[in-house]
Amino acid sequence: MAWQLTEDLETFLTTADGFLRRRPAANTIMLTATELLRAKGAGAYGDVTPLFGWRAGPGGAVTAAFLHTPPYPVVLTDMADAAAAELAVDLAGRGHRPPGVNATPAPGAAFAAAWQAHTGQPAHTGMRMRLYALDTLRPPDPPPPGTARAADAGDRDLLLAWLDAFKDEAQPAGPQESERVVNDRVGWGGLVLWEDEGRPVSLAGRNRAAAGQARVGPVYTPPELRGHGFGGAVTAAITQAALDDGAEGVVLFTDLNNPTSNTLYQRLGYRPISDWTLLRFGAARG
């Protein structure tokens, strides 16, 4: 069957939510995005109109889905390469112009190849990531000096500065979202600071749980404070906070070009479950 597209969140969830929830860890991006939209309304990502879609098999069961919340890339569930290519052709034909695609490697590559063929826009790798899921939390032992606390409104300037620095370091080509993250997460424990002698030294964030899964991120320690175990401690603290709040599982993404973080999260009890590639589209070649 052909792709079905809608701008109505409830229409999408009525059809595809069960499909997404069958694999809550793998579908964490789409589940947390739709949960945010449901909690905060259509303006959760700014003055944009999200686009949703699904594809069903011959029996009517959903087999694939996608989400686009501009200015972010299109996000794909796992799907056949042909389905990903068909979606790219459909979106291009409708004049839709996402900045890229975020998916596991095979469907992401199929989408990008079809996109280039129909728009002339080549794709380049913006980031290679690995998705991890928590088995059993193993906090650092011994822990570094200090303690964790939930960030509050008095930390706003520090949070914005550190989130801006994280974005510039990790995803310089991506959209700026520091203010949205702070506005959304301060007040319910979605941002946690590790403090040493009363001085904040590291930051970790998490999304609202969706389908029982919370997602940790970002995690940031200023360069001059790295190497002391603060990042591991604050990650363990926010992971435990998510579990204490009722999350059945916790996931996080890492940058595959950062071996330190990939090793750290495995020491904390996270196991790799899939690789992802963020592909960004360039200008069409004349």
Q: 167-178, pLDDT tens digit by residue? A: 999 877 667 789
**The predicted structure's pLDDT at residue 100:** 97
Residue 254 has pLDDT above 70, yes or no: yes
Quick one: what percent of the chain has pLDDT higher than 90? 87
Estimate to the nearest angstrom the gap between the alpha carbon of 175 and the chain centroid.
Answer: 13
User: When comparing pLDDT for 46 and 73, which is higher?
Assistant: 73
Q: pLDDT class for 286, splitting at 50, 70, 90?
A: low
Q: pLDDT class for 244, splitting at 50, 70, 90?
A: very high
Q: pLDDT class for 241, splitting at 50, 70, 90?
A: very high
User: When comparing pLDDT for 36 and 193, which is higher?
Assistant: 193
Q: 109-140, pLDDT tens digit by residue? A: 999 999 999 999 999 999 999 999 999 999 99
**The predicted structure's pLDDT at residue 173:** 64
Tell me the whole-structure pTM to 2 decimals.
0.93
**The predicted structure's pLDDT at residue 159:** 98
**The predicted structure's pLDDT at residue 177:** 85
**The predicted structure's pLDDT at residue 176:** 77
Q: 167-219, pLDDT tens digit by residue? A: 999 877 667 789 989 999 998 999 999 999 999 999 999 999 999 999 999 99
**The predicted structure's pLDDT at residue 166:** 95
Q: 74-106, pLDDT tens digit by residue? A: 999 999 999 999 999 999 999 999 999 999 999
**The predicted structure's pLDDT at residue 284:** 72
Q: pLDDT class for 10, splitting at 50, 70, 90?
A: very high
Structure tokens at 281: 């589209």
Kindly report the average pLDDT of the chain as a whole number.
Answer: 94
Mean of pLDDT values over 26-39: 93
Residue 30 has pLDDT above 90, yes or no: yes
